[in-house]
Structure 1
Amino acid sequence: MQRFSASPGGLDGPVTLVDEQGIRWVLHRMRLDVRVVRRLVKDHATPVIWGDMGGISPRVVPEAERPALWGRIKGEYQGPGGKAPMGRYVAHEFRAEPGRRMLFVEDHC
């Protein structure tokens, strides 16, 4: 998967991500509400991408890791509705045609 020069939320213009299958995803919404993040993590039809190093190094989250992922995010989410304003995680929604959604979680360790 392609790397970003900066976190997706900090890039100008249309932000796109091309996955391993060649699907072109476009950043649709930044800094999602924590309730939306929870719903998308639990929706098995929605791919989840983990952005290490502040989001610049993305990788696909395997299905087996998704339950533990929500456990990590919920206590340190810094986006809207999160419990930690100085938290470690923030998430964005990317979209691709036709009507596909992808969750992108930035890890600011």
Structure 2
Amino acid sequence: MPGGAHPGDDLQAEDVGQVQVEQHQVGVELGFGMRRFGLPVLPLIVGVILGPRAELQGRRSLQLSGGDLSGLLGGPVSYTIYAVILVLLAWPLIKRLRRG
């Protein structure tokens, strides 16, 4: 490959810094937009902090299971976590249906 052994090897340090600045700017604009429309910003902050870690752990578990999704979907711990997520997502709908 011209420029390097792997794609992206010819990127300069300034290019990487520019991408990080642009990502930061998008995050700031998204946060301001969320505040403008009365949406909570805390979930965005938590997602930005925990998202890369969750993705890394998901990749590791797929590598350990040889790419088989049963490593993510099977077992009592994952069933419990999925049930809790389902209840948390359905809770506002349940409250709304109870009111009226």
What TM-score comes out, normalization by structure 1 length? 0.21
Higher relative contact order (CA 8 A, sep 6+): 1
Rg larger for: 2
Question: Which structure shows the higher helix fraction?
Answer: 2
What TM-score comes out, normalization by structure 2 length? 0.22
